[in-house]
Amino acid sequence: MKRIFFTTAFLASCLLANSEISTNYTYKDYDNSKTKTNGKTLDYRLLHNFENSQIVINYEDSLTKRENEITKAKLTSLEVEKLSMKYLYHISDDLSFKTSFINIEDNLAPTDDGKIYGLGLIKSMNSSTEIKVDTYLSDYDDFNANQYDLIFVKRFKFNEINFMGQTGIKYIDINGSKYGNYILKDNYYASYFLNLNANYNGFIFGLGFMDGDRLFAVQDDGLKVEHHALEQSKTYMISLGKKFKDIDLISRYIYSKSDELPENRDNVRSKFVSIGFNYKFNL
């Protein structure tokens, strides 16, 4: 999977113009988890614009350490690789079509070899307002998960500060009851989120909040998925960064509360700290 991504990235980067490459490192820390202790995730992303289209390819490589809660003996680490792709086509000045795909390789979870297919539409109401409608089908061996997103985007300016606000809802319908040997008790989940980002002279600041239960949720515009049976509830995010001429640097802190379903463990707290680098080819 890694070879496929880097070969594609190399061929696309040869075109240079209208392309972006980025990498993101995330340190993960878990509190009150049954077996998870800490870990890391590396993301490599390529974005390329051509004519009326845009393609994004993301490769994710993740390692999470595990140990026995009582004896502290080391357990097999959780290793995950994901390859995701998104294609966006501008039908007209105010309407765009999106499709996406994710492939999962996991050494422990029943959702190994899972595949997620996405479709979406973006409608511009005016120069500052958008409405997005997305649907995702997550295809796993024991069950499927259907997700429906409705997102409202608003851009505005106050003094010299440019703002972008997003709010939306996620509805998830799980078709099936088994996650390996565990029986899923709920099949319907709904959540909402609020994000606000600000840009002042190239300095970036962001706040985000997500509330309401979700399970096997697709995130990041179809490029990420929470494929473990970890029932998320509240998530908080803060980001800081700086935009230069061709380079963006950004850091994020994410705090989440969740329940580990197969382990029957409530009030698991996850803390993620990440730093990202993005380079734009402007030829």
User: pTM for the whole thing?
Assistant: 0.93
SS3 2: helix
The pLDDT, as a whole number, for residue 15 is: 55
Q: Which CA distances in Å does 147 have to 54, 85, 169?
A: 23, 18, 10
Q: What is the mean pLDDT, run by run of 10 residues, along the chain of 283 residues?
A: 56 66 97 97 94 95 96 96 97 97 97 98 96 98 97 95 97 95 94 97 97 97 97 97 95 98 96 96 71
Q: What type of residue is 249?
A: L
Chain centre distance of CA 51: 26
Chain centre distance of CA 206: 16
DSSP 240: E
Match 């259907």 to its residue by tokens.
146
Contact call for residues 43 and 55 (beta carbons, < 8 A): no
The pLDDT, as a whole number, for residue 50 is: 87
The pLDDT, as a whole number, for residue 281 is: 84
**CA pair distance 10, 117, nearest whole angstrom:** 25
Q: Where does residue 28 rank: exposed (0-12), middle (13-18), buried (19+ CB within 10 A)?
A: buried
The pLDDT, as a whole number, for residue 11 is: 53
The pLDDT, as a whole number, for residue 71 is: 94
24's CB contacts (< 8 A; 6+ apart) are: 41, 42, 43, 45, 274, 275, 276, 277
The pLDDT, as a whole number, for residue 18 is: 82
* Among the listed residues 12, 16, 4, the one whose alpha carbon sits nearest the alpha carbon of residue 246: 16
* Among the listed residues 279, 228, 220, the one whose alpha carbon sits nearest the alpha carbon of residue 254: 220
**The pair of three-digit structure tokens given for residue 242, joined into one six-digit string:** 């700086």
Q: Which CA distances in Å does 96 have to 9, 20, 132, 135, 258?
A: 24, 20, 9, 15, 34
Q: How many CA atoms lie within 13 A of 251 on its CB side?
A: 4
Q: Where does residue 43 rank: exposed (0-12), middle (13-18), buried (19+ CB within 10 A)?
A: buried
Length of the chain: 283
Contact call for residues 272 and 252 (beta carbons, < 8 A): yes
